[in-house]
Amino acid sequence: MLKTAPLQIRAYEHLREMIEENQLEDGVIYSETRLAKEIGVSRTPMRDALQKLEQEGLIEILPSRGFQLQAITPERIQKNNQVRSALECYSAVVLTRNFRTPKAQESIRRLGELLGLQRKVFEEDGEISEFVRYDLQFHRTVVESLENEELSKLFCNHIYCIQKLASKSLLHTGRLEATLREHTAIYDAIRTGDLLNIYDITMQHMEITTEINLIDLKEG
């Protein structure tokens, strides 16, 4: 058991990185044996890694065939964004309530930096993938400001889906600019301690995102 644990972790981290960096394609069935050889592990740690990824909702294991990426369905979009809304709205409220504390100020400073990087990408017509990266980091910073490992882990389990959906939604005309405005509104409410409005501002951003995600899925 002790010998296989590091290999299982290596296999898991390698596969998770492949998924998050879009190196695996939707609808393609991947061979467990072939990927095990590529990573340099045996089938046992590979199976353990795949089971963990399936539990996290990232892949679907197909008995005697291999595995494929978990399909993004309307139900999955709704559930994904419900979890996001619960996590991010709560985290934003707590961060806003504590906005004067040193730890909160550190998170707020980071949010300001990420907002600046998003604005730079927008103004310089940068790559969508670059904006998506800063977008994810912005939302992740809000959640991680609570320093709650369980909540951070739960958010991380949805990163792949968030990233994949954002890459499509931000292609809509005007959506990049609108996202920047919405993030600015969240940032301004947090940094000024606007407890009266922070929940609604954050929730509105989540609801707009969900609506666009569902439209994208319907249109294919």
Average pLDDT, the chain: 90
- Kindly state which CATH superfamily the domain 74-219 is placed in: GntR ligand-binding domain-like (1.20.120.530)
Give CA torsion, residues 205, 207, 211, 216, to 10 deg: 50
Question: Is residue 1 scored above 50 in pLDDT?
Answer: no
CATH T-level topology, domain 4-69: Arc Repressor Mutant, subunit A (1.10.10)
- Of 218, 135, 148, which is closest to residue 183 (Cα–Cα)? 135
> What pLDDT is attached to residue 3?
46
Length of the chain counted residue by residue? 220
Question: Is residue 59 scored above 90 in pLDDT?
Answer: no
Q: How many CB atoms lie within 10 A of CB 173?
A: 7
212 contacts: CB under 8 Å, gap ≥ 6: 169, 172, 175
> What pLDDT is attached to residue 53?
87
Task: Measure CA of the first residue to CA of the last residue in the chain; give whole Å.
Answer: 44
Element spanning 66, H or E: strand 66-69
> What pLDDT is attached to residue 2?
39
- Of 87, 95, 78, 84, which is closest to residue 186 (Cα–Cα)? 95
Q: Contact 203/85 with Cβ under 8 angstroms?
A: yes
Q: How confident is the model at residue 197 (pLDDT cuts 50, 70, 90)?
A: very high
Percent of the chain scoring above 90 in pLDDT: 56
> What pLDDT is attached to residue 211?
93
> What pLDDT is attached to residue 158?
84
Classified as helix, coil or strand, 56 is coil
188 contacts: CB under 8 Å, gap ≥ 6: 194
Instruction: In whole angstroms, give the CA distance from residue 184 to residue 85.
Output: 17
Q: Contact 167/212 with Cβ under 8 angstroms?
A: no
Residues of the chain with CATH 1.20.120.530: 74-219
Mean pLDDT of 201-214: 94
Question: Is residue 20 scored above 80 in pLDDT?
Answer: no
Residues of the chain with CATH 1.10.10.10: 4-69
For the record, the structure tokens of 162 come out as 């968030």
Q: How many CB atoms lie within 10 A of CB 56?
A: 19
Tens-place pLDDT, residues 107-161: 999 999 999 999 999 999 988 989 999 999 999 999 999 999 999 989 988 887 8
> What pLDDT is attached to residue 54?
86
Q: Contact 53/12 with Cβ under 8 angstroms?
A: yes
CA 197 from centre of chain: 24
pTM (two decimals): 0.82
Q: Contact 53/70 with Cβ under 8 angstroms?
A: no
